[in-house]
Amino acid sequence: MGVLLVLIVLAVLLLVGSVGMIAVGRRRARRAPYLEPPVTRPPEAPRPVVVAPEAPVAVEPEPVVVAPEPQPEPVVVAPKPRFRDRLGKARSQFAGYVGNVLSRTSIDDATWDDLEEALILADVGIGTTTAILDDLRARVKSEGITTPQELIAALKADLTAALGDADRSLHLDAGVTNVWLFVGVNGVGKTTTIGKLGRRFNEAGTPVVMAAADTFRAAAAEQLELWSKRVGADLVRGNEGGDPGAVVFDAVQRAAAKNVTLVLADTAGRLHTKVNLMEELKKVRRVAEREPGKVTEVLLVIDATTGQNGLVQAKQFGEAVGVSGVVLTKLDGTAKGGIVLAIEKELGVPIKLVGLGETADDLVDFDPHEFVDALFDA
């Protein structure tokens, strides 16, 4: 079965390729076949270097993090700053539509159009929007909703319910070296998120080790190193072009030696369509699972400006390395990040953290009520 498909595909491609070439090739002078090397990153390279802080390793009895129960438990309750204030800066458009709806005396076609447009403009996506509004229509009928005020209240309740009471805690297991992998496409803010999260743990008195396993992007390790110094975390880094798995492995070893229970592992941004790079990510995860390491969170970082492609990203990364939660970054801009609604509704991956600004304190726990409230409030 598999073989036949491969053969057919090859044959079709062959045909397309050659037919196309005959068409094009006749026009152009024949040129020597030029072979681009395949898109792979350089494989193995020198072993990672451990950037050691001055302190002698593992001699002094460090305060051992005592874990009473061997159960996953949520950690570090974030102070809850300004979710609404930050979102507030840019909420005008959505709120404008809601205002339109509320200004009418009854619910008519224009009402539904307004709601649909508001949701679509928030990047919720046409599929999820239609599903939400269909549910709402049914509710209007069955519950006899007649005023726009009731309608908006019902929609808010629906959206909050769609986000549900998923488990949004970040998991730390006792007795192992926890590894939190941060994954995502290029430029969504993985490194920055780790820096901010490191600050949060540092302030809570929990030491972390940062693993600069983005060995591809130029100066990514330097970027994380600056963050690690800023927040006083240990950093393990490799050489540019080195093996990211080795970096994570060394970070786990180092954390274990120092009795640190958590490793925050940065990975290179990669498009989910790049097969080789997704394979590389799978390997990083496998390596991170080696004793005493245990991957307790795989956090997909998504930029709030991301459109419908976010859903595909979540799906592909989920299939490759099992995403356990979403970090929604850059929500302080004009973008609404509505795609996370679709991600949570369709794929059941909970949003766990939200980035609301540039400073280290601007990473907060996600709260469905606040998210929906902030969306609606005029």
- What residues numbered 242-281 form the site for another protein, per CB under 8 A? 271-276
Residue 199 binds another protein, judged by CB under 8 A: no
Instruction: Please identify which residue in the block is written with the tokens 């859903």.
Output: 311
- Binding to another protein, residues 14-33 (CB under 8 A): 14-25, 30, 33
What's the residue count for the chain? Answer: 378
Q: Which of 27, 35, 56, 105 binds another protein (CB under 8 A)?
A: 35
Q: Cis omega before residue 37 (within 30°)? A: no
Residue 56 binds another protein, judged by CB under 8 A: no
Contact segment (CB under 8 A) with another protein among 60-68, 159-167, 214-222, 242-250 equals: 214-222
Contact segment (CB under 8 A) with another protein among 34-42, 104-112, 249-257, 370-378 equals: 34-42
Cα separation of 91 and 364, whole Å? 19
- Binding to another protein, residues 168-187 (CB under 8 A): 185-187
Q: Which of 42, 70, 292, 307 binds another protein (CB under 8 A)?
A: 307
Q: How far is the CB of 186 from another protein (least distance, A)?
A: 6
Instruction: Please identify which residue in the block is written with the tokens 């006792």.
Output: 174
Residue 366 burial (C-beta neighbours within 10 Å; 0-12, 13-18, 19+)? buried
CA nearest neighbour of 177 among 343, 322, 297, 52: 297
Beta carbon nearer to another protein, 127 or 164? 127
230, 199 Cβ separation under 8 angstroms: yes
Q: Which of 178, 296, 306, 324 binds another protein (CB under 8 A)?
A: 306
Q: How far is the CB of 62 from another protein (least distance, A)?
A: 28
Q: Which of 6, 110, 161, 257 binds another protein (CB under 8 A)?
A: 6
Tokens of 267: 């990975």
Q: Which of 266, 332, 365, 370 binds another protein (CB under 8 A)?
A: 332
Q: How far is the CB of 212 from another protein (least distance, A)?
A: 11
252, 294 Cβ separation under 8 angstroms: no
Q: How far is the CB of 249 from another protein (least distance, A)?
A: 24
Q: Which of 168, 336, 345, 352 binds another protein (CB under 8 A)?
A: 336
Q: Which of 111, 177, 193, 223 binds another protein (CB under 8 A)?
A: 223
Instruction: Please identify which residue in the block is written with the tokens 């180092």.
Output: 254
Beta carbon nearer to another protein, 93 or 160? 93
Supply the angle between the helices 109-121 and 126-143 in degrees, to the nearest 10: 140
Count of beta carbons in the 10 Å neighbourhood of residue 147: 13
CA nearest neighbour of 200 among 71, 81, 294, 304: 81
Residue 146 binds another protein, judged by CB under 8 A: no
Cα separation of 298 and 179, whole Å? 8
Site pattern 84..123 for another protein (x: CB under 8 A):
-----xx--x-----------------------x--xxxx
Residue 52 binds another protein, judged by CB under 8 A: no
Which DSSP symbol is given to 274? -
Residue 59 binds another protein, judged by CB under 8 A: no
Count of beta carbons in the 10 Å neighbourhood of residue 310: 27
Residue 327 binds another protein, judged by CB under 8 A: no
The DSSP-derived string for 217-238 is STTHHHHHHHHHHHHT-EEEE-
Q: How far is the CB of 101 from another protein (least distance, A)?
A: 16
The DSSP-derived string for 127-147 is HHHHHHHHHHHHHHHHHT--S
Contact segment (CB under 8 A) with another protein among 61-69, 124-132, 286-294, 365-373 equals: 124-132
